[in-house]
């Protein structure tokens, strides 16, 4: 399955997806000069930067994205540090085939700076969520979640790092599970038909901090 | 420390608190004829029913609660199936000494029917939260949290049962830890000074489903 990865940051999730043998046909960044573009370059991947500021509306930006995605015959899309909402037409065009990874246990702490939000709220657990993308913000059906402990001496940096490490572990395997039709979507509920290594019904089950400790 | 337990349901959390040797000086129910009153009766505990409907405002209801609590020289308060908000004056009178247990990982799924909300949203994990009570709904500082997996074939009944089992395990030990001053509150963040058995920094660490499986 030919994926586009939509990026905007350092590119560590893109790198992790490549490490998990995802076939990446196109990398699109919404920001210039980010690390993710260097990762794409280093792997010889087709890549382009499409700046939202260059378009008058979200719909026009969406049209530019779709043009690039269609030209490359992209079958599915993974958001990885891409900080823009997709317009309805783009979501509809790849309906059920667009994924995002978010650094919290959604629906808690959606939107920007989820790690800072969790720390400020004083939760004992936050986590990572992989979900299907709809037109809302972090609101689509949830495919997989991993709880991550918030430690007493955690800073935004230390907690972010622990969360990113788990993101890198799980995003690739879950997208490969999508390719293998290991789960199906029924309304808001995602039903896992067969588990992949380390997961049980979309819950990461082994090798995770809270169980190792 | 002399506790009041505010109830409104079957009384299984009240029973669990007694099993953990909490000194319960008074049981107050907001509903007549509930199982929790029978539990109080069976243990020879002082108990009373104060019906919200008998009062014209939340403030007057609060006054009636405070009268009962003060008469019995109650030092701290545990909500267990008590489905009414406390008024500001009552919260202020036992500030930092009123606890609630809620069947979700707050701030996700606050309010009524947290288990049903979690199932409808399709999360892979929900949980249990013990928090201090303020004037908001399920909004006070979080003391302890335990993630609980949502299984593919879970019904509201099966998931509720698994969540209740964990509630019964953790509420008593956490309230005893409060008596022992094992944690302190700094703004919204609760800092654990020393851990109690099974817990690490307010995160239940051992013997929990997701690690046993």
Task: Please indicate, yes or no, whether residues B111 and B185 belong to a single structural domain of this protein.
Answer: yes
pLDDT tens-digit readout, B79-126: 999 988 899 999 999 999 999 999 999 999 999 999 999 999 999 999
Range of the domain at A74: 1-95
If one counts every other C-beta atom within 10 angstroms of the C-beta of residue A153, the result is 7
Record the tokens describing residue B42, joined without a space: 């069976």
Which residue among the candidates A30, A47, A102, A164 is catalytic per the annotation?
A102
ipTM of the prediction: 0.89
Between A200 and A167, where is the model more confident?
Answer: A167
* Alpha carbons B50 and A12: distance in angstroms, whole number: 58
Nearest CA-CA partner of A101 in A173, A45, A189: A173
Contact A147 B144 (CB under 8 A): no
Of B53, B71, B95, at which residue does a domain stop?
Answer: B95
Q: How far is CA A31 from CA A81, A149, B71, in A?
A: 10, 31, 65
**∠A127-A131-A134 over CA atoms, to 5°?**
135
pLDDT confidence bin for B199, thresholds 50/70/90? confident
pLDDT at A135: 83
User: Taking 50 as the threshold, does the pLDDT of residue A187 lie above it?
Assistant: yes
Query: Could you write out the DSSP letters of every residue in B134-195?
Result: -SSSS-SPEEEEEEEEPPTT--HHHHHHHHHHHHHHHHHHHHHHHHTT-EEEETTEEEESS-
Task: Please indicate, yes or no, whether residues A188 and A209 belong to a single structural domain of this protein.
Answer: yes
> Could you identify the residue written with the tokens 């506790």?
B3
User: Taking 80 as the threshold, does the pLDDT of residue A203 lie above it?
Assistant: yes
Task: Please indicate, yes or no, whether residues A176 and A129 belong to a single structural domain of this protein.
Answer: yes
Task: Please indicate, yes or no, whether residues B121 and B83 belong to a single structural domain of this protein.
Answer: no
Task: Please indicate, yes or no, whether residues B107 and B130 belong to a single structural domain of this protein.
Answer: yes
Of A75, A95, A115, at which residue does a domain stop?
Answer: A95
Contact A125 B127 (CB under 8 A): yes
pLDDT at B205: 63
Task: Please indicate, yes or no, whether residues A8 and A54 belong to a single structural domain of this protein.
Answer: yes
Find the mean pLDDT for residues A105-131: 96
User: Taking 80 as the threshold, does the pLDDT of residue B204 lie above it?
Assistant: no
DSSP-assigned beta bridge partners for residue B142: B131
User: Taking 80 as the threshold, does the pLDDT of residue A21 lie above it?
Assistant: yes
The answer to whether A211 contacts chain B (CB < 8 Å) is yes
pLDDT at A201: 83
* Alpha carbons B76 and B5: distance in angstroms, whole number: 9
Asked if A103 and A123 touch (Cβ cutoff 8 Å), the reply is no
pLDDT at A210: 44
Task: Please indicate, yes or no, whether residues A46 and A141 belong to a single structural domain of this protein.
Answer: no
**∠A84-A90-A94 over CA atoms, to 5°?**
115
Task: Please indicate, yes or no, whether residues A22 and A68 belong to a single structural domain of this protein.
Answer: yes
Contact B142 A124 (CB under 8 A): yes
**Looking at beta carbons, which residues of chain A come within 8 Å of B152?**
191-192, 201
Of B108, B125, B144, the CB nearest to A124: B144
Of A95, A123, A156, at which residue does a domain stop?
Answer: A95
CATH code of B63's domain: 3.40.50.170
Give Cβ neighbours of residue A150 (< 8 Å, ≥ 6 apart): A118, A119, A123, A124, A125, A126, A159
Give this prediction's pTM.
0.91
The answer to whether B202 contacts chain A (CB < 8 Å) is yes
Contact B122 A142 (CB under 8 A): yes
Record the tokens describing residue B68, joined without a space: 């009962």
pLDDT confidence bin for B200, thresholds 50/70/90? confident
Burial (CB count within 10 angstroms: exposed 0-12, middle 13-18, buried 19+), residue A101 = buried
Mutual orientation of helices B35-42 and B12-19 as an angle, nearest 10°?
Answer: 30
* Alpha carbons B145 and A166: distance in angstroms, whole number: 20
pLDDT tens-digit readout, B129-160: 999 998 887 889 999 999 999 998 999 999 99
User: Taking 80 as the threshold, does the pLDDT of residue A205 lie above it?
Assistant: no
pLDDT at B182: 95
Give Cβ neighbours of residue A127 (< 8 Å, ≥ 6 apart): A104, A105, A145, A146, A147, A148, A163, A166, B125
* Alpha carbons B172 and B99: distance in angstroms, whole number: 11
pLDDT at A161: 95
Of A122, A149, A192, the CB nearest to B203: A149
Task: Please indicate, yes or no, whether residues B212 and B107 belong to a single structural domain of this protein.
Answer: yes
The answer to whether B123 contacts chain A (CB < 8 Å) is yes
Task: Please indicate, yes or no, whether residues B76 and B148 belong to a single structural domain of this protein.
Answer: no
H helices within A105-155, ranges in order? 114-121
CB neighbour burial string for A115-134, b if at least 16 within 10 angstroms, e if fewer = bebbbebbbbbbbbbbbbbb
Contact A122 B190 (CB under 8 A): yes
* Alpha carbons A93 and B112: distance in angstroms, whole number: 37
pLDDT tens-digit readout, B32-84: 999 999 999 999 999 999 999 999 999 999 999 999 999 999 999 999 999 88
Number of domains in chain A: 2
Task: Please indicate, yes or no, whether residues A112 and A88 belong to a single structural domain of this protein.
Answer: no
Residue A102 bears catalytic tag: yes
Give Cβ neighbours of residue B172 (< 8 Å, ≥ 6 apart): B16, B17, B19, B20, B21, B22
Of A107, A187, A213, the CB nearest to B108: A107
Task: Please indicate, yes or no, whether residues A108 and A15 belong to a single structural domain of this protein.
Answer: no
């Amino acid at each position: 399955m030919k994926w586009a990865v939509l990026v905007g940051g350092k590119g560590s999730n893109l790198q992790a997806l490549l490490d998990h043998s995802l076939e990446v046909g196109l990398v699109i960044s919404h920001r210039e000069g980010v690390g993710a573009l260097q990762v794409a370059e280093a792997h010889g991947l087709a890549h382009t930067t499409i700046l939202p500021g260059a378009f008058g509306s979200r719909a026009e930006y969406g049209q530019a994205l779709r043009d690039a995605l269609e030209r490359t015959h992209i079958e599915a899309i993974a958001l990885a540090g891409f900080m823009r909402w997709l317009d309805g037409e783009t979501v509809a065009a790849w309906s059920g085939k667009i994924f995002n990874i978010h650094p919290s246990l959604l629906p808690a702490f959606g939107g920007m700076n989820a790690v800072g939000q969790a720390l400020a709220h004083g939760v004992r657990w936050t986590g990572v969520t992989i979900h299907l993308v709809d037109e809302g913000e972090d609101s689509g059906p949830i495919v997989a979640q991993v709880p991550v402990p918030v430690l007493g001496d955690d800073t935004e940096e230390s907690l972010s790092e622990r969360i990113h490490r788990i993101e890198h572990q799980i995003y690739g395997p879950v997208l490969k599970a999508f390719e293998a039709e290991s789960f199906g979507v029924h309304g808001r509920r995602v039903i896992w038909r067969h588990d992949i290594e380390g997961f049980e019904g979309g819950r990461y089950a082994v090798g995770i901090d809270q169980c190792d400790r």
